[in-house]
């Protein structure tokens, strides 16, 4: 079977053939950095990370561009509510996203353009659209004229006369048609702005992706991807902007299903508990990745704690075999166990795995091949069949590498050694809890007037480098420098 993708634009599964033989260009709509990421944000990143890994395992050289939306209504609102400039909000959250992508082992993009760094490109695109009668300035805004582009609505399968008005600007009567969408928004007091021939303002959300994808990947490129919630209006509008300007734009459109919370109570505390930093206090990064990867990328994934726990158990089943096999193979096996996946891997991948991945990235079927391999490997272990163990281990690690789930990949050991901020944070939490537990014991000793024990606890802490200071607010501690 050759590689097939479900293309949202044609609503069919199409054979994948890149524009240039051997090369694939990919644009993924990245984060609007108004808040730190929750695990729903990571699903898109992880799904398309698997796509990129599979393209690379299939022999393609991939150029991967993922943008950062760093100026947008929601960022401005957050900044206003915090009383800080918008760039402080954007920078802080962009770092949180980068950290989260990295924690779960997503390959960094080759280029990660920010909207605010590409205003000149947006102005050029607006000029092309205005000159081609596809856009018009009005009162400092610039609008796209949806009637000028007959294919408007094709991606999302809507007819223009049935569409609702674009909800991207105040209804000031400036638009020729309520469905026209804003390419550019006139500056409001206190907001960041850039000067253009049509007035000072800031970009509408959709314009940046048309300007930046074609700048880095060319006027026509292979794959555009993002969450299903972006099909309309975002991607519909990107197509209108780029194709009306005369660019070929994306040749395949891939969309991931969202992470739903319908099964859980939608409370603020749950929302917070699904922040990536919080989930990574409960499960390890590789386990979270397994949870996000296991369902088909196009399916809706309903979050539940049970499903997360099942994913953790499934990953640990794989991990136990890999670690045990590497141990049993000993020094002889270490070459195999620690060999970085290389050119021969393609031959090691079982046919069932390959055809599953070629079939629109059918990860659930690919994972069935993974677990079958673990079962074979465990049988070989039980039978002390070292050759069988080695074959299973090589095959398994080749498959897991494609999914970004190889327990022996250096990435995860760096993470668990605290090289990643996430596990560093987790370690700090554990140390903090241990010190608190110890100080509670000291308080209990004092309460029963057992001062010898209380002093011994304090001295013991000091000996391991934890200095305790008693303050009116209670004991404070820090690590001795």
Question: Which residues contact Zn ion by CB under 5 A?
Answer: 29, 209
Count of Cβ atoms closer than 10 Å to residue 231 Cβ: 17
The structure tokens listed for 274 are 């699904």
The structure tokens listed for 307 are 């499903």
Strands 199-203 vs 194-196: parallel, antiparallel or unpaired: antiparallel
Taking the C-alpha atoms of residue 474 and residue 436, their distance in angstroms, rounded to an integer, is 11
Nearest partner of 303 among 267, 349, 341, 330, judged by Cα: 267
Q: Any idea how long the chain is? A: 481
Nearer to Zn ion, 180 or 238 (CB): 238
- Least distance from C-beta 8 to Zn ion, angstroms? 14
Nearer to Zn ion, 209 or 454 (CB): 209
Nearer to Zn ion, 42 or 209 (CB): 209
Nearer to Zn ion, 209 or 292 (CB): 209
- Least distance from C-beta 29 to Zn ion, angstroms? 3
Identify the helix (H) or strand (E) that includes residue 195: strand 194-196
- Least distance from C-beta 416 to Zn ion, angstroms? 34
Taking the C-alpha atoms of residue 55 and residue 264, their distance in angstroms, rounded to an integer, is 35
Bond from prior residue into 233 cis (ω within 30 degrees of 0): yes
Burial class (CB in 10 A: 0-12, 13-18, 19+), 129: buried
Query: Dihedrals φ, ψ of 12, to 5°?
Result: -135, 165
* DSSP string over 359-421: BT--HHHHHHHHHHHHHHHHHHHHTT-HHHHHHHHHHHHHHHHHHT--TTSHHHHHHHTT-SH
- Reported as half-sphere exposure (CB side, CA atoms, 13 A), residue 123 has a value of 14
Nearer to Zn ion, 76 or 211 (CB): 211
Taking the C-alpha atoms of residue 350 and residue 362, their distance in angstroms, rounded to an integer, is 14
- Least distance from C-beta 198 to Zn ion, angstroms? 22
Nearer to Zn ion, 85 or 219 (CB): 219
Nearer to Zn ion, 252 or 291 (CB): 252
Burial class (CB in 10 A: 0-12, 13-18, 19+), 370: buried
Nearer to Zn ion, 226 or 407 (CB): 226
- Reported as half-sphere exposure (CB side, CA atoms, 13 A), residue 242 has a value of 26
The structure tokens listed for 173 are 């009567």
- Least distance from C-beta 208 to Zn ion, angstroms? 7
Nearer to Zn ion, 28 or 311 (CB): 28
Nearest partner of 54 among 26, 30, 29, 31, judged by Cα: 26
- Least distance from C-beta 256 to Zn ion, angstroms? 14
Nearer to Zn ion, 79 or 212 (CB): 212
Nearer to Zn ion, 118 or 411 (CB): 118
- Least distance from C-beta 205 to Zn ion, angstroms? 7
Strands 194-196 vs 23-28: parallel, antiparallel or unpaired: unpaired
Secondary structure class of 380 (helix, strand, coil):
helix
> Do residues 193 and 202 touch, judged by C-beta distance below 8 A?
yes
Secondary structure class of 260 (helix, strand, coil):
strand
Secondary structure class of 254 (helix, strand, coil):
strand
Identify the helix (H) or strand (E) that includes residue 315: helix 305-338
């Amino acid at each position: 079977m050759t590689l097939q993708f479900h293309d949202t634009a044609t609503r069919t599964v199409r054979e994948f053939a890149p524009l240039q033989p051997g090369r694939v260009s990919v644009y993924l709509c990245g984060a609007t950095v108004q808040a730190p990421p929750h695990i729903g944000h990571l699903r898109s990143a992880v799904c398309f990370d698997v796509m990129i890994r599979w393209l690379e395992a299939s022999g393609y050289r991939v150029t991967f561009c993922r943008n950062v939306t760093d100026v947008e209504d929601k960022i401005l609102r957050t900044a206003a509510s915090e009383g800080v400039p918008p760039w402080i909000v954007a920078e802080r959250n962009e770092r949180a996203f980068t950290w989260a992508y990295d924690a779960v082992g997503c390959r960094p993009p080759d280029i990660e353009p920010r909207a605010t760094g590409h205003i000149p490109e947006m102005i050029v695109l607006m000029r092309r659209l205005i000159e081609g009668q596809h856009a018009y300035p009005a009162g400092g805004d610039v609008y796209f004229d949806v009637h000028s582009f007959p294919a408007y609505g094709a991606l999302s399968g809507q007819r223009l006369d049935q569409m609702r008005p674009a909800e991207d600007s105040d209804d000031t009567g400036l638009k020729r048609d309520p469905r026209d969408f804003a390419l550019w928004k006139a500056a409001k007091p206190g907001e960041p702005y850039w000067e253009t021939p049509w007035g000072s303002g800031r970009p509408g959300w959709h314009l940046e992706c048309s300007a930046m994808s074609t700048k880095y990947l060319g006027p026509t490129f292979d794959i555009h991807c993002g969450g299903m919630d972006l099909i309309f209006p975002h991607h519909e509008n990107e197509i209108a902007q780029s194709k009306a300007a005369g660019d070929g734009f994306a040749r395949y459109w891939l969309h991931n299903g969202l992470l739903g919370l319908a099964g859980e109570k939608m409370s603020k505390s749950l929302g917070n508990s699904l922040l990536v930093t919080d989930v990574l206090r409960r499960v390890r990064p590789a386990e979270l990745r397994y949870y996000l990867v296991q369902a088909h990328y196009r399916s809706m994934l309903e979050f539940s704690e049970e499903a997360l726990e099942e994913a953790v158990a499934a990953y640990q089943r794989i991990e136990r075999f890999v670690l045990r096999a590497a141990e049993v193979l000993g020094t002889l096996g270490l070459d195999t166990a620690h060999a970085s996946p290389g050119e021969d891997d393609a031959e090691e991948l079982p046919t069932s795995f390959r055809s599953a991945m070629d079939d629109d990235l059918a990860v659930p079927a690919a994972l069935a091949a993974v677990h079958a391999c673990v079962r074979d490997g465990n049988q070989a272990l039980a039978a002390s069949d070292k050759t069988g163990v080695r074959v299973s281990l090589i095959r398994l690690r080749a498959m897991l590498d494609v999914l970004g789930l190889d327990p022996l990949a250096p990435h995860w050991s760096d993470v668990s050694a605290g090289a990643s901020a996430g596990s560093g944070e987790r370690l700090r939490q554990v140390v903090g809890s241990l010190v608190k537990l110890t100080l509670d014991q000291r308080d209990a000793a004092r309460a029963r007037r057992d001062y010898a024990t209380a002093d011994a606890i304090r001295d013991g802490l000091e000996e391991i480098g934890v200095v305790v200071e008693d303050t009116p607010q209670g004991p404070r501690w820090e690590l001795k420098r």
